[in-house]
Amino acid sequence: MSVHTNLSPSEAESRIRTALSDEGFGILTEIDVAATLQAKLGIERKPYKILGACNPPLANRALEADESIGLLLPCNVVVYEDDDGTVVSAIEPLMMVELSPAVQEIADEAHDALERALQRIPVN
């Protein structure tokens, strides 16, 4: 699940945060990969962020269906710059079904919500 946009990484991040919030997701974790690699290894790279998005009602239902599903939570969303602009990608929640078929309905709902959020990012 991915979109390519002409927005700057910071503008794309702002828009996906708003879109995720509108879909019931909160950001539990945020990793600035570029800053971390610069600080730890002295490596410079283009902007790259990982946002750990969680929809609490869906997460609770998934955990009630199968506690091991926490291995795949939260739903990661990445925002990074490439040579053609900015990419915003989200993990495919339907992968959870491979771990636990009991979460099919929940994975479908999460997929639809993330897809709607990504559709709010203007594409190239």
Give pLDDT, residue 14: 98
- Topology adopted by domain 2-119: TATA-Binding Protein (3.30.310)
67 CB burial (10 A radius; 0-12, 13-18, 19+): exposed
DSSP 64-91: HH-GGGGGG-SEEEEEEEETTEEEEEE-
Mean pLDDT, the chain cut into blocks of 10 residues (124 residues total)? 97 98 98 97 97 97 94 96 96 92 95 98 90
pTM above 0.75, yes or no: yes
- Is-contact 8 38, C-beta < 8 A? no
Rg (C-alpha) for the chain, rounded Å, is 15
DSSP letter (8 states) at residue 123: P
Give pLDDT, residue 119: 97
Work out the angle at residue 89's Cα, subtended by the Cα atoms of residues 16 and 71, and round it to the nearest 5 degrees. 100
